Structure 1
């Protein structure tokens, strides 16, 4: 089974930390929806006989679309693709868009999972991030959403300058008080050419502190475990039965297509990415052209991607798969590179699978980079 990711490239305003592709001008929204539907039609044969198991609206801020516009896009999927009986259909949403009427309308649509960008329940954090919502709207949106949706995820950001561990734990406690079954939580990062990078460079905001982020992460792990959540991926925590099916498919290397400007696609061998320019994307689709570049992944690329995604998840890296899919040279290299990390207690081999320990979870990306294969002739 496969998934469809739909990138909606519009936001009300720019968050200071964000480097995703979006526009704050809604002038091309109608043309964009037409183009997205056209791309879906043009790519309908890519799945062959695979059924669509997940549909995910990301962005940007997909909740700026009306429920009718969202349903138009979903209807296009159903018209041109085979879809399983009960697919997971997720909409990323911002609290300020989730009025009671909007939530009720969404609950009557094919959308059955909300991913709400809370980020923080504290006003000072939201202002620093330049979020479009305030703390009151964050809480109100959850109070309303939980009345109509059982499958809800929220995003929280840790490692924020001036955020004490006490304030971070209050964020987690507030989130848990709404009874939501899934939390995605990420360390604040400084991406080049963002407002946050500029503010830090000018001394207007304190530089980020990895030690503070590590403390916050360990507090998060403890709180999630105490409340019955599984840390099934480094940044994702779900109660049993509420893991993100869409994201899990990514991490397990399943096929998906990405529709919309800047969206990525993957079929196990090739990776494609759409142009990250709204006007050029719309113009290309208007003449039935796919504005996409494609690369064929080498064996080393596929090995490195498997290491990166595998170590971030509870499923780890299968040593049997490494040997059968990539060969003995990769297998021996991986074991050799992993030795020091096993000795340091951040990696362990369980059931012929290499996984990070609790101590190693926050370090997963750094560990993975040390296990990457570099410049192996193929």
Structure 2
């Protein structure tokens, strides 16, 4: 058994966790015992962060204090803004810009000399990083648009403040609630690639900034966090083609297209987060009077199930298939979708790092050697 190879560590148990539970056959996602449906409907993202980090839902007084602590940490140093300007000048991808800026944040960490095994200090670092990521993303996008950076406000929630910094205008309740729900849905999802990366880094007793920076790097790949952008790019291409969406998809599949936003390493049925986001996408379309993005996505989903039998092949929409339509209707650029995923998932990264370090053991798997074992040395002039 010890020598059995598990490519991608598929099916291998490497840790125990009480943060989130996934039932891939039933399409069920739970954060610390609470279903994702209940949390999306009733909890704010800040409540979800508190739940993930502290193990229980906060009281009103605890939530008020937590929200105030988060809001007070939103400002970023002027040097970070200067770095973002340099990255805009270099035409850096937003996800890479986020990775670089988060790494630089450690230079201004007031507890930079804290022992990584001091979990209270690590939690405070994680809270600061989580509070500042929206400021980084909004500043970067405004700078590349040639607009002034909007300073964060402490009287708005985490989601609403990001939209305010992004647009320069306070969002309406529908936009703020929708974006808050999207953050909740993406906050944690077991030992996915980016969460595991963060844990591996933390297991060496590296600091929280290193762990989160590594998580961002892992999330940037198209096989993990990049699919939401791929989905929306496909829908835009379908709409701009002028062709019937179903015919376009049919032709694309015949040409070998792998439809983004379909299938999942864990779920064998429709992702419960996709169910919620589908409904929210429809609501946004109805509110604005522009339902085409929801309609195209929904029609494609039904076609792939009814005509291509995707569900019988174990393929169903994952969270990415509808998240893009929600972000697009909120006016968010396509290349910010994955950074926004990171803005949310940092809550899970921090939670898993803290949980793992309660009983830390260096993560060090083995690889099976398949190379030569007895080559004879040849002097360089004789090769």
Instruction: Give the structure-1-normalised TM-score.
Output: 0.24
Q: Return the structure number with greater strand share.
A: 1
| CA radius of gyration, larger in | 2
Larger RCO (alpha carbons 8 Å, 6+ apart): 2
Q: Return the structure number with greater helix share.
A: 2
